[in-house]
């Protein structure tokens, strides 16, 4: 299956049609830290039936319930701690959880399993929630399978990884002791989003006819290579994901549209564009190199060496294109813009135009990248921008298009508030990867 040929309405539809089992409801599962249901879609696609879900976020619970249990078919609870303490979790076969990643993420404080004492006197115990999963497994010996997901940085910390492996092995789980790190772009979905997946099966449920050469679960045991669909770095993914006739509310504001066109103008009329190029460090209007280096506003001499090398490249680019850049800065009043809009980073190689690329406006400035893969969707407001030729205007990627990058099934009902949906999809899991992992994991067990 080539993702280039998938219908734009559902990048996941063909996979789901081929891989959904006819033997429905042959195992039960609980969906912990469920978000808006990435795990749920994956496990029901291979015949699972949810009997319990929980998430601390009310907006997530609302979206989850309207899609999967509009009539209260199973409980969707708020606090996993309460559910454990009150023993309200029913029997189940399969535990899945995208447990909180903030204390493991590179974007977080990396405190791991440590309880964090906040300045206001409260505590952040999200890093300890893994041990509540362990408590659930201790109290539910009937659980046969587990599938956990987290940021790849979790596996980079050997101490944390060793703790996870040791705790699960104490409970007689055969697990993926070597981190299984996968990204949607390995499987035909054009999003780079590396995550670590922890799989486990109880020893007493493992089908001994299966072979475990290393004594634990590996990529080879799970036959993951048969699902690989690597995309060419040369192909644009935009035609496979972009919708047509997109609502005008997704067009970027006129000032952003003008900003992007302005940077495109600079790129087209200069040579040797520095990456990145920040006007604040170029020394606009300073003609002499020595005056530039001694300028207190630049503070070149107090910079670390790596930054000196970076800003000197910016300066050389400016000097080589000084006449045009000075005129461009004056015409577009670039020095009056907010600092964020004075920064530009071209990561699109030999792409002909920004209109062919994927754009993000980040703290590092306007970033333009090749259209072969989308960067990882994130929970913060950092929605990708693309050129819409039918509207002759740049626009934001829509929630529906972002949902394709997470392999959500078409027709999924999201929040009516787009900002909420973007955040929820940024926090979600990729359904295609989870479906593959869960399917191969269940195959290793005795017949239910």
Give me the active site residues, please. 101
Angle at 69 between CA 67 and CA 74, to 5 degrees: 145
DSSP string, 127-175: GGHHHHHHHHHHH-TT--EEEEEEETHHHH-HHHHHHHHHHHHHTTEEE
For residue 52, what is the enclosing H or E element?
strand 48-54
Whole-angstrom CA distances from 204 to 145, 181, 213, 444 are 11, 27, 18, 12
Contacts of 416 (CB under 8 A, 6+ apart): none
Neighbouring residues of 326: CB distance < 8 A, sequence distance ≥ 6: 284, 285
Nearest CA-CA partner of 196 in 161, 168, 220, 162: 161
Nearest to 276 by CA among 339, 337, 220: 339
Q: Which stretches of 152-293 are assigned E, i.e. beta strand?
A: 173-175, 180-182, 195-202, 277-278
CA-to-CA separations, 102 to 55, 106, 110, 125, in angstroms, rounded: 15, 8, 8, 11
Query: How far from the centroid of its chain's Cα atoms is residue 288's Cα?
Result: 45
CA distance 264 to 262: 5
| SS3 assignment, position 29 | strand
Nearest Cα to Cα of residue 2 among 194, 230, 233, 192: 230
- CA 329 from centre of chain: 36
Inter-CA distances, 404 with 155, 187, 340, Å: 27, 13, 29
| 198, β-bridge pairs | 148
- Other beta carbons less than 10 A from residue 198's beta carbon: 26
205: three-class secondary structure by DSSP: helix
């Amino acid at each position: 299956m080539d993702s280039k040929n998938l219908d734009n309405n559902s990048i996941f539809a063909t996979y789901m049609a081929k891989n959904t089992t006819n033997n429905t409801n042959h195992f039960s599962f609980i969906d912990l830290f469920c978000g808006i249901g990435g795990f749920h879609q994956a496990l029901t696609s291979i015949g699972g039936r949810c009997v319990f879900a929980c998430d601390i976020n009310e907006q997530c619970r609302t979206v989850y319930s309207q899609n999967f249990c509009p009539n209260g078919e199973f409980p969707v609870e708020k606090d996993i701690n309460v559910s454990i303490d009150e023993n309200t979790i029913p029997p189940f076969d399969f535990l899945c959880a995208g447990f909180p990643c903030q204390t493991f993420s590179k974007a977080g404080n990396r405190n791991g399993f440590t309880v964090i004492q906040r300045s206001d006197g409260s505590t952040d115990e999200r890093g300890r929630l893994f041990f509540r999963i362990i408590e659930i497994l201790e109290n539910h010996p009937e659980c046969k399978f587990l599938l956990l997901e987290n940021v790849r940085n979790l596996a980079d910390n050997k101490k944390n990884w060793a703790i996870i492996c040791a705790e699960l092995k104490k409970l007689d789980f055969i697990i993926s002791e070597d981190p299984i790190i996968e990204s949607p772009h390995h499987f035909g979905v054009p999003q780079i989003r590396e995550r670590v997946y922890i799989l486990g099966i109880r020893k007493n449920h493992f089908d001994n006819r299966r072979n475990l050469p290393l004594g634990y679960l590996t990529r080879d045991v799970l036959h993951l290579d048969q699902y690989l669909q690597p995309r060419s770095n040369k192909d644009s993914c935009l035609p496979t994901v972009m919708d047509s006739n997109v609502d005008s509310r997704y067009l970027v504001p006129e000032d952003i549209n003008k900003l992007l066109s302005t940077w495109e103008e600079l790129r087209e009329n200069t040579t040797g564009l520095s990456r990145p190029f920040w006007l604040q460090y170029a020394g606009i209007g300073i003609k002499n190199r020595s005056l530039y280096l001694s300028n207190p506003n630049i503070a070149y001499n107090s910079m670390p060496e790596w930054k000196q090398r970076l800003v000197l490249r910016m300066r050389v680019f400016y000097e080589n294109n000084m006449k045009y850049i000075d005129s461009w800065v004056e015409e577009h009043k670039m020095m009056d813009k907010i600092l964020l809009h004075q920064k530009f980073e071209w990561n699109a190689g030999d792409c002909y135009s920004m209109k062919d690329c994927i754009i993000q406006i980040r703290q590092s400035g306007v970033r333009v990248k090749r259209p072969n893969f989308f960067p990882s969707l994130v929970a913060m407001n950092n929605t990708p921008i693309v050129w819409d030729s039918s509207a002759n205007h740049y626009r934001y990627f829509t929630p529906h298009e972002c949902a394709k990058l997470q392999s959500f099934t078409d027709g999924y009902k999201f929040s009516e508030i787009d900002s909420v949906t973007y955040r929820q999809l940024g926090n979600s899991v990729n359904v295609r990867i989870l479906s593959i992992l869960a399917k191969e994991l269940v195959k290793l067990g005795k017949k239910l």
